[in-house]
Amino acid sequence: MKVIFSVKKKSNLSKTNPDSYRKKLTQNGVRINKYIASAGYCSRRAADKLIEAGKVSINSKKAELGSQIFPGDVVRINGKVIEPQKKEDFVYLAFNKPQGIICTANPEVEKNIISYINYPERIFTIGRLDKDSEGLILLTNNGDIFNKIVRAEYEHEKEYVVEVDRPYGKKFLENMAQGVKILDTVTNPAKVEPISATTFKLIITQGLNRQIRRMCKALGYEVVFLQRIRIINISLNELPIGEYRNLSQQELTELFRIIDYKI
């Protein structure tokens, strides 16, 4: 008989219904970081770092955090003009990351994920997967979608297969489901399903640094294998390790519905 340990947590997050950046641009302007994200250059968070570093200009003047962009404005990053993309130009990929590949766009980092994939267009990862783990990672050139997926308050599900170094018991599964104290906090309730004496499935709604490894370690176990098999409604399925595929229109439609995203 299959036993699933689960503790539900009610979310008090209200959904938003954002207009497209084009509509905002013609009305009250759009924030500079959103404009950059809409150009597919990077996420809003990364855009803020570029602005703080003085690498972004608006009409040849240094941009500031929170600056607004209006029709006719010229935005440059490192001197290069950028413009928002059309929705048909957006790319959405699912990649089965091998162990040893690092989720960074920095070309100077050996075995960085962007160089490994070698995609012909500029893309970046949506979230991360640590170097020692393998499995599903999403990539895109749509910076607007980044925050809708990775921000902690949205509590989107991510599913993993976890193997630990020795057999666990019922108490271990209960603790994993109820929450474990790590990094000066207690993890959100999770869903846990045993697979074998040392392997189990885990569904979490957070993305703390090395969260699953830290949770297991806090309970006296070491993770020896960690694979992500699902992000929200996107599943790894039979995608070979080291390869990527485009998300289907059906997957995108359902994903956008769940995260309340409108292009």
User: What are the residues whose beta carbons fall under 8 Å from the beta carbon of 179, sequence distance 6 or more?
Assistant: 7, 186, 187, 188, 189, 190
Residue 112 amino acid letter: N
The beta strands (E) that lie in the chain are given as: 5-6, 30-31, 56-58, 61-62, 68-69, 75-77, 80-82, 92-97, 124-126, 134-140, 158-164, 181-182, 185-186, 191-194, 199-204, 223-231, 234-235, 244-246
Q: Shortest CA distance to 158 belongs to which of 201, 93, 203? A: 203
Q: Which of 48, 73, 89, 130 is catalytic?
A: 130
CA 178 to chain CA centroid, nearest Å: 24
Helix (H, G, I), strand (E, B) or coil at 154: helix
Annotation says 89 is catalytic: no
Which residues does the annotation mark as catalytic? 130
